[in-house]
Structure formats: C-alpha cells, structure tokens
Amino acid sequence: MAKSKILIVDDDANIAELIKINFESEGFDTVTASNGREAVEKFHAEAPSIVIMDVMMPEMDGWEACREIRKTSNTPIIMLTAKGETFDKVLGLELGADDYMVKPFETKELTARVKAVLRRTENQDNTSDKTLEYKNLSVNISNYELKVNGSIVELPPKELELLYFLAANPNRVFTREQLLEKVWGFDYYGDSRTVDVHIKRLREKLEGVDGNWQLKTVWGVGYKFEVH
C-alpha cells in the first residue's frame, strides 16, 4: 500500500521540521512549503492525502490558501493557528477547513487527528453511492453534493458530513463530543464549539426549507435531525 503523503505548510522552519520528523517516523511521506502560495503550487504538484496549514504566513496566508485549494479539492485540511479566538476558528471552518489546532500543540494529538481523518476519508472513498432523501433535501456523501428544493447548495466537506451523519440517524440525540468523534474521527480533545459553528452554518443554508425535518438543539445535551 502506498504511503499517505502530508503537505506541511508553515513559515516557521523549526515547526515545519518538527512536524515533518514526527510524521516520517510514523511512516508518512511528507512535503513542505513555507507560505500559502507555495502551498497551493505544491498541493497541485504533489497531490497530498492531507494538508497541515499554518494561518499567519507571508505572500499568501493560510485562509487564502485554504480557499484556493477548496476550489478544486475536498482533500482534508487541518489549520494551525497561534490564535484561539472564535473568529479565527469560524473563518477557517467557513472556508472549508476540516479542523484546527491552536499552537502550541502536542505532536501526539496532531498525529492522532491526522490518522483519524485519513481513516475516515479512506472509508468514504471505498463506499458505493450513498444518498439520503428527505422532503426537499438530498444529501449525497459519495460526491459531496447537497440539494435543497432541487437546487445544488455549496457546502464545505465537514458541514456535509455532519448533516449526513445526523440525517442518517433521525430523531437520535448526539452530544457535541459524540459528534466530534463520529464526524471528525477523533476522541474529544478540544473545543466543542467546532460543532456549534457547523450547526449554525448548516441552519443558515437550510433556513426556510419546507420539509418534514429540522436540525434541532436539545438543550443541555446536543443536537438531532428531527423528522416529524
């Protein structure tokens, strides 16, 4: 089996080297870039399995590089940021990042998240066509396509995966921690607001749809896809 390749993007050479050594010791192939523009170029040239991307970089920052990659690919992207503000997290998730980690971070945690994301991606690639149909809603996890009232709605990969998971388990309540584990593919390490941000974005895109379902908050517990 071919090794998974990781594109590591950070303008801090020491951090990039630390991540590189860590993942190569775990059996991964790695390629590095020192700014967002170089990252986009190497992404298209190297076709990595996953991208680990710093946010604050010269020439092109991580947000813009993430936006460029998302124009053509659903390859998983984990953002690294020295900032812990909700604004940064929301922006990254809106642009299609799969996850974020705040510096400083433990390489063990980063490794666990990368492996989990790759397992999930591999499992999805090996599945046949999977589409969930509800009134005025169609969620296809095979080609990452959402249709609302018959029209295609653009959706970041993680938002679609979250919607698909909840819709595949109608009327069942999940805690934020369970959703992080089931959808993001790793045990709960960080901020459960990641789930809240995705739910908020999904509701904005599904607002006003006349269906027999809704994304419902169960106060004190979590969320469910309620079917009437």
Please enumerate, as own/partner, the contacts of 225-228 that have beta carbons within 8 Å and a separation of 24 or more: 225/163, 225/166, 225/167, 225/169, 225/170, 225/171, 225/172, 226/170, 226/171, 227/134, 227/170, 227/171
Which carries the bigger pLDDT value, residue 225 or residue 106?
225
Domain span including residue 48:
5-125
Q: Which amino acid is present at 192?
A: S
- CA 53 to each of CA 2, 33, 203: distance values in angstroms, whole numbers, following the listed order: 23, 9, 28
Binning pLDDT at 50, 70 and 90, where does residue 172 land? very high
Cα–Cα distance, 95 to 76 (Å, whole number) = 12
Provide the pLDDT confidence category of residue 209 given band limits of 50, 70 and 90: confident
Indicate if the pLDDT at residue 79 is higher than 90.
no
> What's the count of helices (H) and strands (E) in the chain, helices before strands?
8, 12
Q: Are 119 and 111 in contact (CB under 8 A)?
A: no
Residue 28 to residue 45: CA distance in whole angstroms: 18
Half-sphere exposure of 11 (CA within 13 A, CB side): 14
Residue 153 has pLDDT above 80, yes or no: yes
Q: Are residues 178 and 210 in the same domain?
A: yes
Q: Using the 3D structure, point to which of 77, 106, 125 is the last residue of a domain.
A: 125
Listed in sequence order, the residues at least 6 apart from 206 whose beta carbon sits closer than 8 Å to its beta carbon are 137, 148, 215
Could you tell me if 135 and 181 lie in one domain?
Answer: yes
Q: What is the mean pLDDT of residues 148-167?
A: 88
Q: Are residues 75 and 108 in the same domain?
A: yes
**Overall domain count for the chain:** 2
**What pLDDT is stored for residue 39 in this prediction?**
96
pLDDT tens-digit readout, 13-45: 999 999 999 999 999 999 999 999 999 999 999
Q: Which amino acid is at 186?
A: F
Same domain assignment for residues 78 and 151: no
Domain boundary among 84, 100, 125: 125
CATH number, domain of 50, equals: 3.40.50.2300
pLDDT, residue 138, reads 92
Q: What does the alpha-carbon distance between residue 212 and residue 108 come to, in Å, rounded to a whole number? A: 44
Q: Which pLDDT band holds residue 1 (cuts at 50, 70, 90)?
A: very low
Q: Which of 7-11, 63-67, 124-128 has the highest mean pLDDT?
A: 7-11
Q: Is the pLDDT of residue 115 over 80?
A: yes
